[in-house]
Amino acid sequence: MKVPQTLINSLQNIQGFNESTFIKAHENDASPTSIRINPFKNSDFFNDEAPVIWSDYGKYLASRSDFSQNPLFHAGTFFVQEASSMYLEQVLKNTVDLSQDLKVLDLCAAPGGTSTLIASLLTPDSLLICNDVIQNRSNNLSDNLTKWGTMNTIVTNNDPKDFMRLFGFFDVLVIDAPSSNSGLMRKDPNILKEWSDANVLAWSLKQKKMISDAWSSLKQGGILIYSTSSYSKEENEEMVDWIETTFNAEHLTAKNTDKLGGEIISEGSFRLFPDHVKGEGFFITAFKKKSSEKEVFIRSGKPIKNNNRRTEREIFRNWIKDVDDHTWFEKNGDYFLIKPTHEHAINLIQFNFNLKKVGTKIGKLSNKDLIPDHELAMSIFLSEKTNKVELSTEEANKYLRREDFVLEEVIKGWSLMTFKGFGLGWAKILPNRINNYYPKELRISSKEA
């Protein structure tokens, strides 16, 4: 891979840039493989792997494997994420009081790296809205958050300008902005085919519009965290100046300088170069909103039809851990488990936005029995009373491929298929067969294919 000379020239005056080591890292060094452990489903599978020092849950792998053939990946015990992107954890910890119950918007959330990281740090009563404007990407985002297993998340499929309706709603706004992606060119050399000064300028204009569209949804005193996978100043330092000037925002000084081991702080923001850290190119910075625009009226629609009837509670008691601490609502025959403290916010959001996922879908009721949904199988709130069947690696992969397999001496009825104790999905065991309820759209292809 040959780094464009125009890109090299544009970086000459940036703090921390070293032309020779930068070129060597991109042209000679391999991109590291990293994953982030799900703290709610903590497996010891990666205990011996080297840690990502700026993340409590990040690990470097000695080599990249086919994650699609690892049942622990489908169980949601880890997320494959570029190590530098995990530095969001440090910025959140240094700008936000994470012990408080917060409302957080992850504006450009797919495929779920930032969202699952944020979800790992928030209190259970916090609310995380994860949005992506592209429908198929929001579907993938929903699937990844389902695997993570938490309840306090909502996935929306909306344009950033739609969030103007939620005036002063969020405590934290995270924008991991789409960019020219030059910081990832070592992982994907095809990025260089699209890179140009003109494209950098075009992306910076899109980033400005995105921030402008969502800014009013941040409350006074709220925190904006902005990041890109770009090296270009137009998308980074110049964006910092634009945000400060346009919104009279307070640019927060970068802190915690011992976490990177030779990190680069560029004008109060973090710049990560692959010749300085074990990761790809990344830029991240934070602001505090000092002033608030004039408040606007937000239509909230009809209250959620809450069906917390005693009969439902008794049915759900066998399926949901600490069911009395939660609430639920029914829509079109499906039941959704949510936090009681989130009812008003969910009502507000469902009336104004295109929702892809809300809380945890429990399933449907039929003749006073539950037909459990896949989201419940993946949830960390699933009751320990649920019947479980532990699968071998071969059996687990057959289950995930929706292939036939035989189980000996198992209890008839609904059972959670597990691998190393972690749920994969449902099967209904009948006297003469096993009905596999793993979602068809999620099934994996065979390794030979």
pLDDT digits (tens, 9 = 90+) for 226-238: 999 999 999 999 9
Residue 258 is labelled as binding a ligand = no
- pLDDT for 301 equals 56
Q: Where are the domains positioned within the chain?
A: 5-288, 299-386, 387-449
d(CA 21, CA 196): 22
- Give the mean pLDDT of 157-179: 96
Residue 411 CA to chain centroid, in angstroms?
36
pLDDT tens-place string over residues 158-167: 999 999 999 9
- pLDDT for 361 equals 98
pLDDT tens-place string over residues 95-148: 999 999 999 999 999 999 999 999 999 999 999 999 999 999 999 999 999 999
Read off the pLDDT band of 242 (50, 70, 90).
Answer: very high
Tokens 């749920």 — which residue?
Answer: 423
Question: Position 95: which residue type?
Answer: T
d(CA 182, CA 272): 12
- Give the mean pLDDT of 304-323: 83
Query: Structure tokens of 225?
Result: 């965290």
Read off the pLDDT band of 447 (50, 70, 90).
Answer: low
Asked if pLDDT for residue 307 goes beyond 70, the answer is no
Asked if pLDDT for residue 449 goes beyond 50, the answer is no
Residue 176 is labelled as binding a ligand = yes
Average pLDDT, rounded, for the chain: 92
Q: Is 290 exposed, middle or buried (0-12, 13-18, 19+ CB in 10 A)?
A: exposed
Contacts of 47 (CB under 8 A, 6+ apart): none
pLDDT tens-place string over residues 41-75: 989 999 999 999 999 999 999 988 889 999 999 99
Residue 322 is labelled as binding a ligand = no
User: What's the whole-model pTM score?
Assistant: 0.94
Task: Return the SS3 of 437.
Answer: coil
Q: For the chain, what percent of residues have pLDDT higher than 70?
A: 94
Read off the pLDDT band of 297 (50, 70, 90).
Answer: very low
Pairing of strands 153-156, 413-419: unpaired
- pLDDT for 292 equals 66
- pLDDT for 448 equals 46
pLDDT tens-place string over residues 342-387: 999 999 898 889 999 999 999 999 988 999 999 999 999 999 999 9
Helix (H) or strand (E) holding 327: strand 327-331
Rg (CA), the chain: 23
Whether the CA torsion 137, 143, 149, 152 is positive or negative: it is: positive
Asked if pLDDT for residue 257 goes beyond 70, the answer is no
CATH class of 387-449: alpha beta
CATH class of 5-288: alpha beta
